[in-house]
Chain A
Amino acid sequence: MYQMLFEIREAEQRAYDLFLQSLVKGTSHLSLGQEAIAVGCAAAMEPGDLSFCTYRGHAHTLARGVEIEKVLGELMSRDNGLMRGKGGSMHLTSVKHGVMGSYAIIGAHLPIACGAAWRAQYKGQKDISVCFFGDGTTNIGAFHEALNLAVIWKLPVIFVCENNLYMEYTPISEVTAVADPAAGRASAYGLESIIGDGQDADEVYRITKRAYDKARDGGGPSLIEFKTYRYSGHSRADPAKYRPVGELEDWREKRDPIKIYRKRMLDAGIAADIIQQIEHKARLKVNEATEVCKIAPPTSIDILSTDVYADGGWAWRN
């Protein structure tokens, strides 16, 4: 778990550095500070379980075991990218890892996750669908439509809200009717109100494992709200000047998911040099992936109009 936390931290930081070097273009939304949710949720999943992510989806994609070079390659528009450059940062998808897509229209994937869960229910399959989204999503219609549908159909779907306190630039508390944007709505759908510490990967694991088991056993959906904090702005374009002075430093100092986990391991008697080895290995992996991507050829222009339709092409007429 710690190695994955550390790898994701390094990979996200690397994505930012590559952006500063103009090797990553476009926008991207980093999960620096929010790694524990991705790692804890993924660790509690079984192979075959499905993840539905948002445009802030690098961490969730990596946490399911997708290779770092595939993610960085996609961000860098290289031919070795996860979708060979056709999707970009906001649409990371790896079906073979159960990462069923990263969705960049707020809330769209909550009903989609319901549909995947409906398929499992209809076919008697045991996989569950886990749908990640931010606090801002709780104010859009699809959130409410999906929760209602999931409950009335008793679907094996778990909704995981990552409440990082800011919608984009606006504090979520200023634009939401209840204090806990997801958990505060749970009762409207007859669901238990579940709030967890999103900075503690072990707690995330415990809470989600319980919800997954319930869904797998036919007990229906859960809605979980994890409190967390993103260290960077909403996206590349955002220096996050709207935050009160000291808030970021406070979270970094006291609530950092990596510091929390490191201390727990030290307290449990794990030697510092073993932890350092894990960290060294993670850094090495990210470095190697970066080098692979830097020398990888750019995405092929031959794929411009492939895979629009199932015949592999884009033909709309004869």
Chain B
Amino acid sequence: MAELTYRDAVARGIAQEMKRDPDVVFLGEDIGKAGGVFKTTVGLFEEFGPLRVRDTPISEQAILGAAMGAAMTGLKPIAEIMFSDFIAVCFDYLANEFSKSRYMTNGQVKCPLVVRTGNGGSARFGAQHSQSVENWCMMIPGLKVVAPSTPRDVIGLLAASVRSPDPVVFFEHKSLYAVKGEVEEGEILEALGTAKVVRPGTDATIVALALMVPRAIAAAERLQVEHGINCEVIDLRSLVPLDTRTILDSVARTSRLFTVEENPRLCGWGAEIVSIVVEEGFYNLDGPPVRITTPHIPLPAADALEDMAIPSVARVADTVRRSLKM
């Protein structure tokens, strides 16, 4: 076992897949010679050359369009959109093109591609470089949506995304890039659509994604130590496919549900999970499900303000404790 950062895991995951399959190609802004603006792709240009690791102009529509054209004719492209906020300038491809082409053509057109993008806040980048926009993609039929929280999952889920015959949007969390984790040697491959119980517990289920996973775990530890509340924490890992079985099973044991979402409240993914649990697990619940989210505001740049907006360890712990009235 070696320690690896989430950042270095990105390059290792891409390299693993490019070595395995010569049809895997990689394109995006500053990904090649520069090694990525977040230094997530260092060494790939040198290892795989300029034809497989292609620097592009600042043309997000061209990046996703070219990825689609390459995918539908036989390649397996990984396209980087530097900040997930920029998905807004090429949303057509996600919303109208590669998500729908298989359906519209009655299965003739296939788009096995991955859109990697830096998502999320707590980096003081302000309202246009900090958003969590995974819910923008979750609502589009035809897409798969993945968001790892650990370096090992970055590799394993990225590999699964590259091998997926469907288009996948892969949300890396910018504030996790420096986080280290244990990663074994050799090929790593996880399955999409499998949530993971990362902390077993008995009193409440906390469902989280990406940066909210370590915060939920820290909150659970605090609740255990300070209040004797034993929370189960689930790392969703992917929103589509959604592993509702793991969530419903957990709620059947704990009888309480909390979601911790970094996206602004309206139409966040937690709303879908709450609705599923209420429809299908209502009689297992001992109290109302509670969503802990960023409020319905643009994200501010100042650290004091941003820290108030995005769910913190303290807010998660406090909300769970108050809701359980313990």
CB within 8 Å of B: which residues of A?
50, 82-84, 86-87, 91, 93-95, 100-101, 103, 105, 107-120, 122-123, 129, 141-142, 145-146, 148-149, 152-153, 303, 306-310, 312, 314-318
From A111, A119, A316, give the contact of B75 (CB < 8 A): A119
Q: Is the CB of A111 within 8 A of B109?
A: no
Q: Which of B29-37, B93-101, B255-263 contacts A (4 or more CB under 8 A)?
A: B93-101
How long is the Cα–Cα vector from A306 to B105 in the complex, in angstroms?
11
- For the complex, is B323 an interface residue (Cβ under 8 Å from A)? no
Q: In the complex, which residues of chain B have a beta carbon less than 8 angstroms from the beta carbon of A318? A: 193, 241-245
From B65, B101, B105, B141, give the contact of A115 (CB < 8 A): B65
Q: Which of B56-64, B116-124, B128-136 contacts A (4 or more CB under 8 A)?
A: B56-64
Q: In the complex, which residues of chain A have a beta carbon less than 8 angstroms from the beta carbon of B93? A: 108
CB within 8 Å of A: which residues of B?
25, 51-52, 54, 56-57, 59, 61-75, 77, 92-93, 96-97, 101-110, 112, 141-142, 144, 164-166, 193, 240-245, 276
Q: Given known contacts A83-B106, A118-B75, what 8 new A-B pairs fall within 8 Å (CB)?
A: A111-B62, A111-B68, A112-B65, A145-B61, A146-B62, A152-B57, A306-B106, A310-B112
A121 to chain B minimum Cβ distance, whole angstroms, is 8
Q: Is the CB of A145 within 8 A of B102?
A: no
A sample of 29 inter-chain contacts (CB < 8 A) reads A86-B106, A91-B105, A93-B101, A94-B108, A100-B69, A105-B96, A108-B96, A111-B61, A111-B68, A114-B62, A115-B77, A116-B73, A122-B51, A122-B70, A123-B74, A142-B61, A142-B65, A145-B59, A148-B59, A152-B57, A303-B106, A306-B107, A307-B107, A310-B110, A310-B164, A312-B107, A316-B242, A317-B242, A317-B243
Q: Is the CB of A86 within 8 A of B103?
A: yes
Q: Is the CB of B141 within 8 A of A314?
A: yes
Q: Is the CB of B106 within 8 A of A101?
A: no
Q: In the complex, which residues of chain A have a beta carbon less than 8 angstroms from the beta carbon of B105? A: 83, 86-87, 91, 93, 95, 101
A301 to chain B minimum Cβ distance, whole angstroms, is 14
Which single residue of chain B is at the shortest CB-CB distance from A299?
Answer: B106
Known: A105-B92, A145-B62. A115 touches B71 (CB 8 A): yes
Q: Is the CB of A307 within 8 A of B103?
A: yes
Known: A118-B66, A149-B66. A105 touches B108 (CB 8 A): no
A160 to chain B minimum Cβ distance, whole angstroms, is 16
From A83, A113, A114, A115, give the contact of B104 (CB < 8 A): A83
Which single residue of chain B is at the shortest CB-CB distance from A140?
Answer: B61
A57 to chain B minimum Cβ distance, whole angstroms, is 13
Q: Is the CB of B70 within 8 A of A115?
A: yes
Q: In the complex, which residues of chain B have a beta carbon less than 8 angstroms from the beta carbon of A315? A: 241
How long is the Cα–Cα vector from A314 to B241 in the complex, in angstroms?
10
Which A-B residue pairs are the 9 nearest by beta carbons?
A111-B65, A115-B69, A310-B165, A115-B66, A145-B62, A145-B59, A116-B69, A112-B69, A83-B106
Q: In the complex, which residues of chain A have a beta carbon less than 8 angstroms from the beta carbon of B193? A: 318
Q: Is the CB of B104 within 8 A of A86?
A: yes
Q: In the complex, which residues of chain B have a beta carbon less than 8 angstroms from the beta carbon of A107? A: 61
B252 to chain A minimum Cβ distance, whole angstroms, is 15
B55 to chain A minimum Cβ distance, whole angstroms, is 10
Q: In the complex, which residues of chain B have a beta carbon less than 8 angstroms from the beta carbon of A113? A: 69
Q: Is the CB of A118 within 8 A of B109?
A: no
Interface centre among A109, A310, A312 (most CB of B within 10 A): A310
Q: In the complex, which residues of chain A have a beta carbon less than 8 angstroms from the beta carbon of B110? A: 310
From B62, B74, B144, give the contact of A148 (CB < 8 A): B62
Q: In the complex, which residues of chain B have a beta carbon less than 8 angstroms from the beta carbon of A303? A: 106
From B25, B64, B102, B107, give the contact of A111 (CB < 8 A): B64
Which single residue of chain A is at the shortest CB-CB distance from B248?
Answer: A318
Known: A101-B101, A105-B97. A119 touches B73 (CB 8 A): yes
Q: Is the CB of B56 within 8 A of A149?
A: yes
Q: Is the CB of B109 within 8 A of A100?
A: yes
How long is the Cα–Cα vector from A105 to B241 in the complex, in angstroms?
27
Interface centre among A87, A115, A117, A152 (most CB of B within 10 A): A115
A239 to chain B minimum Cβ distance, whole angstroms, is 28
Which single residue of chain A is at the shortest CB-CB distance from B62?
Answer: A145
How long is the Cα–Cα vector from A200 to B141 in the complex, in angstroms?
43
Q: In the complex, which residues of chain B have a beta carbon less than 8 angstroms from the beta carbon of A122? A: 25, 51-52, 70, 75
Q: Is the CB of A108 within 8 A of B97?
A: yes
A188 to chain B minimum Cβ distance, whole angstroms, is 14
Q: Is the CB of B109 within 8 A of A87?
A: no
How long is the Cα–Cα vector from A50 to B105 in the complex, in angstroms?
16
How long is the Cα–Cα vector from A26 to B296 in the complex, in angstroms?
38
Interface centre among B56, B68, B106 (most CB of A within 10 A): B106
Q: In the complex, which residues of chain A have a beta carbon less than 8 angstroms from the beta carbon of B25? A: 122
